[in-house]
Amino acid sequence: MTEPQLIDQYKRNLNYLRVSITDRCNLRCMYCVPRDQIPKLSHKDILRYEEILRIVRLGVSMGISKVRITGGEPLVRKGVYHFLEELSAIDGLQDVSLTTNGVFLKNNLKKIWSAGIRRINVSLDTLKRPKFANITGVDRFDQVWEGILDAECMGFSPLKINVVVLRDINTDELVEFARLSLTHPFHIRFIEHMPIGKSSVSERPVLAPEIKRIISRLGDLKPLPRTSRDGPAERYRFSGAAGEIGLIRPLSQHFCERCNRLRLTASGQLRPCLLSDQIEDLKTPLRKGLLDKDLREIFLKAVQHKPSQHHLVEDDREEPCSQMCAIGG
Ligand code: SAM
């Protein structure tokens, strides 16, 4: 039997599920999680792995073909490598990837590889050790950098480095980040900082045209043609470079009209838009023993509530109450 597909009222086909498996993180990035915040969710509030796997299987039966595991920091959750293995083995799931801060990458790359994962995004906002400690609250730059280099050696591909651009904090390093793409096959992705949640970053955001202008000092930045596998990044390459540059522009040119994402939070809520607090609870009905067909209805309800676009750049905007670390980015 063919199950109903996840197509919203604006005809967007939602085939990409981002799954946050924990709200806990070993870093306290200044723009993501308030320094004094302690994790709120208790063990019983977090979806168990078998519950996540059931939800993903349901999603796959309705057209989800791509899953990204995120957090909090996914690699801090016990049992994550076995979970990744089970996830990768789900029939019909074509692409499983991981977003991590990289602190635990180095010693666990073999397990991630054995679990069938080849695509990793590492978040890294500075190449300087003291500044890393400043931004994240923890002195772990060396571990992250060694993890990235080892992942490159092992052949993880694409290996994306996510850089949230923060005015006067890392704008002086954008050229250095971009330069990495000349000699390494990395995809360096500059992300416009989204002003959401409580954060200690309140400066005027650095938008993509300014980022482009800064990194163009390195040479001619050639746009790459869009492919069906592309995510939200506008892609570029410096002539002769091993890697590429991506600009992710949630503010200066939002990509809502081609957004194909749904999010599952660690506490079991389906969230059709990162920037809206419109959610559907899946955990309670799942734990009450609802049948697959009833859970599919909840998926469909979430999809119908996906807004046409976010309103983050409007003066009278309504910001989501949730912190990014609770949603998974
Ligand atoms: N711990 C993992 C990590 O560090 O990649 C996964 C969770 S983190 C919330 C996912 C991504 O969201 C990271 O790349 C992070 O830099 C990004 N992020 C967090 N807050 C953001 C904000 N306000 N604007 C733009 N990106 C943000």
Please tell me the predicted confidence (pLDDT) of residue 54: 98
- Domain-embedded: residue 1: no
Please tell me the predicted confidence (pLDDT) of residue 271: 96
Using a 6 Å cutoff on CB, does residue 164 contact ligand 1? yes
- Domain-embedded: residue 2: no
Banded model confidence at residue 218, pLDDT cuts 50, 70, 90 = very high
What's the whole-number mean pLDDT along residues 300-317? Answer: 80
Q: How many domains does the chain have?
A: 1
Distance CA 106, CA 115 (A): 15
What's the whole-number mean pLDDT along residues 35-45? Answer: 79
Using a 6 Å cutoff on CB, does residue 325 contact ligand 1? yes
Task: Give percent helix, percent strand, percent coil of the chain, each to the nearest 5.
Answer: 35, 20, 50
- Domain-embedded: residue 9: no
Please tell me the predicted confidence (pLDDT) of residue 41: 87
Judged by DSSP in three states, 207 sits in coil
Distance 253 CA to ligand 1 centre (A): 19
Distance CA 88, CA 37 (A): 33
Atom 4 of ligand 1 has which residue's CA nearest to it?
A: 101
Beta bridge partners of 192: 165
Please tell me the predicted confidence (pLDDT) of residue 316: 55
pTM higher than 0.85? yes
Distance CA 53, CA 28 (A): 28
Structure tokens at 136: 């994240």
What's the whole-number mean pLDDT along residues 259-286? Answer: 94
Cis peptide before 158 (omega within 30 of 0): yes
Distance CA 254, CA 80 (A): 32
Using a 6 Å cutoff on CB, does residue 191 contact ligand 1? yes
Distance 34 CA to ligand 1 centre (A): 13
User: What CATH number does the domain containing 85 carry?
Assistant: 3.20.20.70
CB atoms < 10 A from the CB of 68, how many?
Answer: 22
What's the whole-number mean pLDDT along residues 263-268? Answer: 97
Burial 44-57 (b: 16+ CB within 10 A, else e): eebbbbebbbbbbb
Residue from 130, 74, 127 nearest 99 by CA: 74
Q: Are 181 and 238 in contact (CB under 8 A)?
A: yes
Distance 325 CA to ligand 1 centre (A): 7
Banded model confidence at residue 33, pLDDT cuts 50, 70, 90 = confident
Residue 198 has pLDDT above 80, yes or no: no
- Domain-embedded: residue 284: yes
Residues in the chain: 329
Residue 56 has pLDDT above 90, yes or no: yes
Structure tokens at 291: 């049948």
Please state, for a pLDDT cut of 90, what percent of the chain lies above it.
81
Using a 6 Å cutoff on CB, does residue 101 contact ligand 1? yes
What's the whole-number mean pLDDT along residues 195-208? Answer: 78
Banded model confidence at residue 34, pLDDT cuts 50, 70, 90 = confident
Using a 6 Å cutoff on CB, does residue 324 contact ligand 1? yes
Please tell me the predicted confidence (pLDDT) of residue 37: 67
Residue 69 has pLDDT above 80, yes or no: yes
- Domain-embedded: residue 282: yes
What's the whole-number mean pLDDT along residues 300-316? Answer: 82
What's the whole-number mean pLDDT along residues 79-96? Answer: 98
- Domain-embedded: residue 8: no
Distance CA 198, CA 8 (A): 31
Distance CA 87, CA 54 (A): 10
Using a 6 Å cutoff on CB, does residue 20 contact ligand 1? no
In degrees, to the nearest 5, what angle opens at C-alpha 141 toward C-alphas 187 and 165?
Answer: 50
Residue from 92, 91, 97 nearest 67 by CA: 97
Q: What is the mean pLDDT of the chain?
A: 92
pLDDT of 1-21, one tens digit each? 588 899 999 999 999 999 999
Residue 144: domain span: 16-327
Which atom of ligand 1 is found nearest the CA of 327? 9
- Domain-embedded: residue 65: yes
Least confident range of 190-194, 195-199, 301-305, 314-318? 314-318
- Domain-embedded: residue 5: no
Banded model confidence at residue 50, pLDDT cuts 50, 70, 90 = very high
Which atom of ligand 1 is found nearest the CA of 162? 14
What's the whole-number mean pLDDT along residues 160-171? Answer: 97
Structure tokens at 212: 């482009």
